[in-house]
Amino acid sequence: MSPTHVRPFALIPSRSLIYLPPSTIKSRASLSVRNHSKVHCRSSGRMSAVPVDIIEKSKQLAAWTAVDNHILPADKIIGIGSGSTVPYVVERILAQGAEVNKGRVFIPTGFQSRQLIVEAQLTLGDVSQYPVLDVTIDGADEVDHELNSIKGGGACQLQEKVLAEAAKTWVMVADYRKNSETLGTNWKQGIPIEVVPFAYAGVLRKLHSIGSPTAHLRMAKMKAGPVVTDNGNFVIDAPFAVEQMKEPAKLLTQLKLITGIVEVGLFCNLAKAAYFGNQDGSVTIKWNNGRVEQISKE
């Protein structure tokens, strides 16, 4: 059985979801999955030898399993996160059918997820209209053993954290490369930190002095100058030593006190669960009570 044929909800008998075969899925997301043989690995900056197919399937598997487990018919206000795994979340939500989605409002974490919602013809809302969400599903750059995570690889961490905190249930989805014991093990670029533009130089100096000597402004790839977030701010990527990364909540508190920092891409004590699609077609679920569940393909 291929990863896309795993029926995760079958393992949760209390849920009465109907299995939707992959052939019922017709979103743009599924059309955009290409069959390249190599993929650029954002965390290491190197090319991964793992076929894109496998990585994409593991993203899809994580996303589908999370949707099946956490987006129930009663859930009406739903947050849609950012990143390359999230199109599969929308894909699976669409597969729940027009009837159930008619009564729902979807809140984006940024431009990308806003576009996904609009293109899927789902109802778009704003977190200022709906400050309490039933559930938000989002991607992650790395997740540790306690469900702390690094986010902001796509520079969306401010809106992502607002939606994570607003949600009654916040769940992360990712491929197996994001699953680690300690933050900073696989994600080497550092913690994405959103800063007010005029304060960036001072914030950088401060970061250099508190344990991140290589902290730097994130530069745009196809534009001269820095990356500008959906909120008009800059992003600093700040790597810290393993010892500091082992206590992410402490580091987060320290960083939040620096004037000019708007938000820090460390998400601590927020997640209910994190779903990782694996290369062999299984899914690892880390729960916030410490339980780790392994769902194998049949």
Ligand X SMILES: O=C(CO)[C@H](O)[C@H](O)COP(=O)(O)O
293 is catalytic: no
Q: Which residues of 132-169 are buried (b: 16+ CB within 10 A; e: fewer)?
A: ebbbbbbbbbbbbebbbbbbbbbbbbbbbbbbbebbeb
Task: List the one residue out of 140, 234, 145, 250 whose CA is nearest residue 187.
Answer: 140
Q: Does 140 bind ligand X (CB under 6 A)?
A: yes
Question: Cβ closer to ligand X: 83 or 108?
Answer: 83
Tell me the closest approach of the beta carbon of residue 149 to ligand X, in angstroms: 8
Q: Tell me the residue number closest to ligand X, measured at CB.
A: 83
Q: Which of 69, 82, 113, 179 binds ligand X (CB under 6 A)?
A: 82
Give the residue, chosen from 60, 84, 148, 278, that forms a contact with ligand X under the rule CB under 6 A. 84
Residues 160-219 that bind ligand X (CB under 6 A): 160
Q: Least distance in Å: CB of 88 to ligand X?
A: 9
Q: Which is nearer to ligand X, 7 or 172 (CB)?
A: 172
Name the catalytic one among 56, 91, 142, 160: 160
Binding mask 151-170 vs ligand X (x if CB under 6 A, - otherwise)?
Answer: xxxxxxx--x----------
Q: Are 7 and 15 in contact (CB under 8 A)?
A: no
Pick between residue 38 and residue 76 the one whose CB is nearest to ligand X: 38
* Dist CA 92 CA 110 (whole Å): 20
In this structure, what token pair is assigned to residue 8? 């995760």
- Strands 266-267, 149-150: pairing kind: antiparallel
Q: Which is nearer to ligand X, 153 or 184 (CB)?
A: 153
Task: Say whether residue 56 binds ligand X (CB under 6 A).
Answer: no
Cα distance between residue 55 and residue 48, in whole Å? 10
Rounded least distance, CB 273 to ligand X, Å: 15
Count of CB atoms within 10 A of residue 71's CB?
Answer: 22
For residues 190 and 210, give the distance between their C-alpha atoms in angstroms, rounded to a whole number: 14
In the complex, the residues that contact ligand X under the rule CB under 6 A are 81-85, 138-141, 151-157, 160
Residues known to be catalytic: 160
